[in-house]
Chain A
């Protein structure tokens, strides 16, 4: 049962091969048995799951037949879930049971999904290895001595290990696509504003987007269909109808114009990853695509600009964690300033403190023009590169990551070395365009991901290309040994 995709689960539930309650119980047992090796869950919501599963079974018995009705999933632990611990993997949200559901959670609940639990992540989504969690590092099921990527590392590890068919994640600089690549999954970061950010605890508000991680593009389409849409509660939500992603999957690829940015295949890329990516390009050509080289000359400036914009916005967003209204409060504060300083100093981990301080510095008096404004100008240069490229091609294709999954602890001494791992994913967040990562094979038994980038609101096209590739490849069907 645990090998089934969401699409297969929907058919099996409709055919009454098993009930949602049976499926949920079976996966909960699997989580108990196998997750100690991975640490992908922060909270397992067994009671809630069984209650939701029985309700979904009752809806099916009454004649309903939704594509996600009775489908078990998990949520990254930064989506607020009412009366359930929502920790952001931080000590500062110790004991925080959210008083309401995130819009994404509400929409998926309404579609009938079952919440099996809340998934581990980098603290406040700040990281690329899922090692900064207060609840401990997550391990990669393909090699448990290696990282699963981050920040949605718990989501990725749980889905890759078949503890869940799919999960929600968020992506501020690559946090859906990079862990998807390192664990052999398909994951999509939608256009900025496509998925509501309401109830999704903010890291960098002008970059954050929620999206799904799953084993197939078809399952990502199923989930994104339910997650996307205008939300008046999110001031940056886009008021535009959602495309039919499922209908888009079947479109033939003949005439598809693919751009290969030369900057994505230069120094810094593991050549073995480059070969796997080019093999995918050859398959897509057989399906009717044409290929041309393009240039995104400002790509190299994306990481410096990101490490101004994201920490600046984070330093502002995270000021709400002050030990007064919710979460962790230090013992015996002597005055209000001591209360703030010690609650925050003891509650936040090292990486979060670093980014708050970088952001505070960048926004402090006299530095705004040199840092934040400069970064926003570079952001426009990056957007302009993409707009120019999309005049000539339909999708941009390249590696998702420059390297394979690294060993736990390997990059901890030098945070900047881990920042550089996001070189290929970060530009999509700065420009606000959608990006998808899909499996492209293995090197030394470790998964390789290929990234597809599209113009604004071209999620359907990206899912279409990935789905068509998955009809002629079986990388995405490979299961890690021992899971």
Chain B
């Protein structure tokens, strides 16, 4: 099943990726080539096979509920594009 340009635009929106109009045709072609490769999977018989999520079948480890991290706000905000009064700045979201 080949993707249409409009579907590629929808995927880009879901991924919050701004694509230029001139990128769309080549992106559509390449994505369809990659999906063609991926679709080879459908020929494999996997009936009765359990999916493998972790190579060693490990489960999430739990730790004691104790404080392990110090406040690093200043260090982390020093590398942010825009901050003010300890807050990250973004364009206005509530009109």
Contacts and interface: CB of A to CB of B under 8 A. Distances in A.
Interface of A: 95-97, 99, 191-193, 206, 232, 235-236, 238-239, 298, 301, 303-305, 307-308, 315, 319, 322-329, 333-342, 344-346, 348, 350, 353-354, 356-358, 360-362, 364, 370-371, 373-381, 383, 414-416, 419, 430-433, 456
Contacts of B55: 192-193, 206, 383, 430-433
Interface of A is mostly: helix
Residue among B31, B60, B63, B92 with the highest chain A CB neighbour number at 10 A: B31
A305 B34 contact: no
Most buried by B among A328, A333, A341, A357: A357
Interface in B11-62: 11-12, 14-20, 23, 27, 30-31, 33-42, 44, 46, 49-56, 58, 60-61
Interface residues of B, number: 52
Given A206-B54, A340-B16, 9 more contacts: A324-B80, A328-B81, A329-B81, A354-B27, A378-B46, A379-B51, A379-B52, A431-B55, A432-B54
Given A339-B90, A376-B53, A377-B46, A364 B58 contact: no
Contact of A304 (B17, B41, B46, B88): B41
Interface in B44-95: 44, 46, 49-56, 58, 60-61, 63, 72, 75-76, 78-82, 88, 90-93
Nearest to A354: B30
Nearest to A414: B33
Contacts of B80: 324-326
Interface of B: 3, 8, 11-12, 14-20, 23, 27, 30-31, 33-42, 44, 46, 49-56, 58, 60-61, 63, 72, 75-76, 78-82, 88, 90-93
Contacts of A336: 90-91, 93
Contacts of A348: 17
